[in-house]
Amino acid sequence: MKELSLHLLDIVQNSITAGATRIEIGITNSVSQDLVEISVKDNGCGMSEEFVRRVTDPFTTTRTTRKVGLGIPLFKLAAETAGGEFKIASEVGKGTLVYASFQRSNIDRPPLGDLKGTLITLIQGAPKINIVYTYVTDRGQFILDTEEIREIMDGVAINEPEVLNWIGEFIRENEAELAAK
Ligand SMILES: Nc1ncnc2c1ncn2[C@@H]1O[C@H](COP(=O)(O)OP(=O)(O)OP(=O)(O)O)[C@@H](O)[C@H]1O
Ligand SMILES: [Mg+2]
Q: pLDDT tens-digit profile of 67-115?
A: 667 899 999 999 999 999 999 999 999 999 999 999 999 999 999 999 9
Is the C-beta atom of 4 inside 6 A of ligand 1?
no
pLDDT the model gives residue 89: 97
Instruction: State the pLDDT confidence band at 54, using cuts at 50, 70 and 90.
Output: confident
101-138: burial string, b at 16+ Cβ within 10 Å, e else: bbbbeeeebbebbebbebbbebbeebbebbbbbebbbe
Can you give the residue range of the structural domain that contains 17? 4-178
Ligand nearest to the CA of 16: 1
As for how many domains the chain has, the answer is 1
39 lines ligand 1 (CB under 6 A): no
Q: Is the Cβ atom of 43 under 6 angstroms away from ligand 1?
A: no
Instruction: Tell me what pLDDT residue 154 has.
Output: 82
- Across the range 52-56, mean pLDDT stands at 88
Q: Are 69 and 58 in contact (CB under 8 A)?
A: yes
Helix axes 115-125, 4-17, angle to 10 degrees: 20
Q: Can you give the CATH number for the domain in which 123 is found? A: 3.30.565
Ligand 1 pocket, residue 92 CB under 6 Å: no
Task: Tell me what the pLDDT averaged over the chain comes to.
Answer: 92
What does the pLDDT read at residue 64?
A: 56
| Model confidence at 61: pLDDT above 80 | no
Which residue has the least CA distance to atom 10 on ligand 1? 14
Atom of ligand 1 nearest to the CA of 44: 3
- Is 46 a pocket residue for ligand 1 (Cβ < 6 Å)? yes
**Phi, psi angle pair for 143, to nearest 5°:** -125, 135
pLDDT band at 58 (very low <50, low <70, confident <90, very high): low
Note the pLDDT of residue 125.
Answer: 95
Question: Considering the entire predicted model, what is its pTM?
Answer: 0.94
Mean pLDDT of 1-23: 96
